Structure 1
Amino acid sequence: MFAVDIHTHSRFFHWSPGEPTWFDPLGLTLATLCARLRGLDGIAVTNHDYTYSADRRFPTIPGVEVTTTRGHLLIVGPNPPSRTEPGELTPHEAVEIAHENDCAAIVAHPFRNSDLRHVDAAFDAVELNGKNTEHVEQTRELAAEMDVPLTGGSDAHYPIEVGRAYTLVDADELTPKAVADAIRDGRIEPVVRLNRLEKHLDRLYTRFHASKGYGDGFTANLVEK
């Protein structure tokens, strides 16, 4: 069993959307350091509409957070698309790309800036998002209705956020394909682990997202969260 944060980012902000920046190497280094400190076995790096990976002693799983026409979809596994155009792919198209490349397709933060929960696509899982823990019970109910398993991901943009939520992955080895297969087979369990400071930050995230209008509906041209 491996503890993997399925939703992390290698930069703080969203300048130059859809392409790597000079900050990514440093961001990934800091994220993997914090993951080690929190006792994780690996992280998936899921930047907005582009993949970024680099050789690290700490295991990193390739991924991308695709801005579909209806919300954000995580594609995690051995060969996610290297770049996607925000708002161009439909959820069905994004899921098809994921499956063609032996990846898992995960509905990200389903109750924040997303309509994916209303889409009848072959999603592999739904995410318990570390920045919106007030949605935990709703998300569990949604996963049961959709008959898919739950992943856990911190949605960390700042390294100290890594590990707020993560996924226990039942696999023999920690490889991109093994992680994707475990998600698609339901051999996973989400964990949300917030300390006192993180609980306070979670309330601030909720207020911030509400002030930006990132509620139940999807803002079509939104790239950042």
Structure 2
Amino acid sequence: MQCLAELHSHSTVSDGKPTPEEIVLRAVYLGLSAIAVSDHNTFRGSAIAIESAKKLDLNITVIPANEVRTIRGDVLVLCERIPYEEPPKIPNELHEWAISNNCITIAAHPFHIGRKSVGRYLKNNPKDFDAIEVWNPRGIPFLNKPATKLAEKYFKPQTSGSDAHVLQELGTSPTKIESNECDLYSILDAIRKGKCAPTKSYMKISTIFNVLKWSIKRRI
């Protein structure tokens, strides 16, 4: 059985345009099996998304997530539950914290120029990451290639994510999860074991326009 999981998205809780509820509803509309609302340095977006899914009785798995901005760059953290404490901002400490909290760490857009990326640190410390995001449709496409090469070199599980900041981006590049169940624990376990594969898709021109419009509006 294959589950489609959007592992990277942002809401109004950080720098995204849609609310967590809108993200969950859009994910259901797209037919996704799971959604991670990974706002920067907080699990609050995920907490709201989880409550929204319960309240609306939606058939989708909501993964507690956080894109932690460490001192070396951005790291996606996916957990079995909302943690009771804040994750550390040092990558090796973050990985240890993740293990003790039943979470996994994923190097986000590791080699994308102009973004908070962990590429240089990842090259020398692959053990501090459970998986690598090898495809992120934002930015220049060829900048995803070094991530794929590094994942292959160190036999790291490969994921993808839209890094959505507007609804139209959501589901552009979901991760394909090989699992008999699409529940939270099965999805995280499958990623740990490398039973996952990236979807390498590009944003539509209309989506790029909406992304640029939101980026400009957010900065004004």
TM-score band (shorter)?
A: 0.7 to 0.9
Distance 1:200 1:65, change over 3 A: closer
| Mapping 1:8-23, distance limit 5 Å | 8-11=9-12, 13-14=14-15
In structure 2, relative to structure 1, the CA distance for the partners of 1:65 and 1:13 (3 Å cut) is closer
* 2:210 corresponds to 1:172: no
| Secondary structure of the corresponding residue to residue 64 of structure 2 | strand
1:114 alignment partner in structure 2: 117
Structure 2, unpaired ranges of 5+: 216-220
Pair 1:122–1:202, CA change in 2 (3 A):
farther
Which of residues 136, 141, 147 is equivalent to 1:139? 147
In the TM superposition, residue 99 of structure 1 has moved relative to its aligned partner by 1.2
Deviation above 4 Å: which 4+ runs of structure 1? 198-205
SS at match of 2:42: coil
Deviates more, 1:173-182 or 1:40-49: 173-182
Q: Corresponding residue for 1:181?
A: 189
Q: Is the 8 A contact 1:171 1:179 kept in 2?
A: yes
Letter in 1 for 2:71: T
TM-score by length of structure 2 reads 0.77
Counterpart residue type for residue 11 of structure 1: T
**Structure 1 segments unaligned to the other structure (5+ residues):** 16-22, 209-225
Tell me the CA shift for residue 145 of structure 1. 2.1
Inter-partner Cα distance in structure 2 for 1:107 and 1:30: 26
The structural deviation recorded for 1:195 is 4.9
Structure 1 position 142, deviation (Å): 1.9
Whole-Å separation in 2 of the counterparts to 1:61 and 1:49: 15
* TM-score calculated relative to the size of structure 1: 0.75
| Partner residue, 1:104 | 104
d(CA) in 1 for partners of 2:206, 2:146: 20
Whether the aligned pair in 1 keeps the contact of 2:11 and 2:23 (CA below 8 Å) is: yes
Query: Please, what is the CA RMSD of the aligned residues?
Result: 2.9
Question: Structure 1 counterpart of 2:167, which letter?
Answer: P
Distance 1:130 1:145 in 2: 22
Change (3 A) 1:83 1:51: farther
> Residue 165 of structure 1 aligns to a residue in which SS?
coil
Q: CA deviation at 1:13?
A: 4.9
Give the letter for the 1:77 counterpart: C
Q: Alpha-carbon deviation of 1:119?
A: 4.0
Of all paired residues, the percent bearing the same amino acid is 29
Secondary structure of 1:93 counterpart = helix
Describe the superposition over 1:108-160 as per-residue Cα deviations: whole angstroms up to 9, x where unpaired. 01013223423413311100213133323222112112320111111112122
Matching residue of 1:150:
158
Give the conservation status (yes or no) of the 8 Å contact 2:7–2:35: yes
SS at match of 1:192: coil
Partner of 1:42: 34
Q: Residues of 2 paired with 1:103 and 1:198: CA distance?
A: 35
Which residue does 2:218 correspond to in 1?
Answer: none
1:4–1:167 contact (8 Å) kept in structure 2? yes
